[in-house]
Amino acid sequence: MRKALENVQIFKQRREKVLKNLGNNAMVVAAHPELIRNNDVHYSYRQDSNMYYLTGFEEPESVLILRPGNFPESVLFVRQKNLERETWDGFRFGPELAQQEFQVDKCYPIEEFEKQAVELLKGYEGVYYRLLKNPTFDQKFLNVLDSLRAIQGRTGY
């Protein structure tokens, strides 16, 4: 079994610092996508700098949500454990082990992102997210925003 970095406290402190500065806004940080070089050969994976800075988590297909003032404040979405894929792609932490090793408040499978994110992001004035970094994930995030707009409804403004 692979372990997280020796000092995961530093990542937790960084998340707490960001949470203090968000006000009544949430933040969504997505991992970089895996890039295919040719056919079935991928480039060596490098995590998004913001994702790594806040979590230390280095796997693709992961997302961090920071939501100040509510529990859970830090929520990580990661790939499920899959022994067959691990044979070819390498070790995966999976939700349970990732929550424990990276000291986030809650961890879900990445497949649940759209469903869970709507509930997690409800009630915030704004959501910080960097578009055009991960086009595949951008569409999922925009679906979440559409769902949030539908829930919010129309106001007199």
**157: in domain:** no
**1: in domain:** no
**What are the E-state strand segments in the chain?**
25-30, 36-38, 41-42, 63-66, 74-78, 106-109, 126-128
pLDDT along the chain (157 residues), means of 10: 73 97 97 89 92 96 97 97 91 96 97 97 95 94 95 65
**143: in domain:** yes
Q: How many domains does the chain have?
A: 1
Structure tokens at 33: 């996508």
What DSSP state is assigned to residue 57?
-
Domain limits for position 105: 9-152
- Model pTM score: 0.92
Percent pLDDT > 70 in the chain is: 94
**3: in domain:** no
What DSSP state is assigned to residue 112?
G
The enclosing domain of 148 has a CATH number of 3.40.350.10
**Distance from C-alpha of 59 to C-alpha of 63, rounded to nearest angstrom:** 10
Q: In this predicted model, what pLDDT tens digit does every residue of 47-72 receive, in sequence order?
A: 999 999 999 999 999 999 999 999 99
